[in-house]
Structure 1
Amino acid sequence: MVEIEVVYAAEDRQVLLAVTVPSGTSLKAAVQASGIAVRFPELALADCPLGIFGKVVVDADVRAVQSGDRIEIYRPLLADPKEVRRLRAVKAAMAKQRNS
């Protein structure tokens, strides 16, 4: 058996669950076994990227958990960071023109 943590941060709350799973369990299977979907029914686990200690894991269906892993469930981005940065630059340029 392997002891891991599964964490998820919604907009309004955060949850950290300590879970014990059999050796060889994949990240995705461990997240499903954690029961986090019951606490966050709106969470589409099949579509959420997973990571360990801040690093995205591409093969979450295959990669086996290791003792002490902290599996993080990532939310989809609400806005494209490049677009937000571009809009901020346009707004700053317009403010600079008004003050000139």
Structure 2
Amino acid sequence: MAEAVQVYLCYATPVREYVRTMKVEPGTTIGQAIEQSGVLQEFPEINLSTAAVGVYAKKKTLDTVLRERDRVEIYRPLVADPKDSRRRRAAKKDAAPKA
């Protein structure tokens, strides 16, 4: 019998973070690990059909097979487009009176 694979599961909200170390069977996918972790019960706002997931900040699909020490991350949607935010800051800086 193959030895269990250790993985980490991470999810964060503005007020709380969820990090869990898990042992899963070899061949377990990201989707299966998320289901087994209990994070969906603790954070019912997570919708796996629309939420992006990844391993070490690289987007992956739910059917990606996990390897030893992978860190599975569930991403929340962005509140603001980073490019738009930067443009607004730059415009505000340009409009400020020069001293």
TM-score tier (shorter): 0.7 to 0.9
Unmatched tracts of structure 1, length 5 or more: none
Count of equivalent residues: 96
Q: TM-score, normalised by structure 2?
A: 0.86
| RMSD of aligned residue pairs (Cα, Å) | 1.5
- In proportion to residue count, which structure has more helix? 1
Q: Secondary structure at the match of 1:11?
A: coil
Return the offset for 1:83: 0.6
Q: TM-score, normalised by structure 1?
A: 0.85
- Is the counterpart of residue 11 in structure 1 residue 14 in structure 2? yes
Tell me the equivalent position of 1:68: 69
Return the offset for 1:46: 2.2
Q: Percent identity?
A: 35
The CA distance in 2 between the partners of 1:78 and 1:32, in whole Å, is 26
Tell me the equivalent position of 1:20: 23
Unmatched tracts of structure 2, length 5 or more: none
Tell me the equivalent position of 1:99: 98
Tell me the equivalent position of 1:50: 53
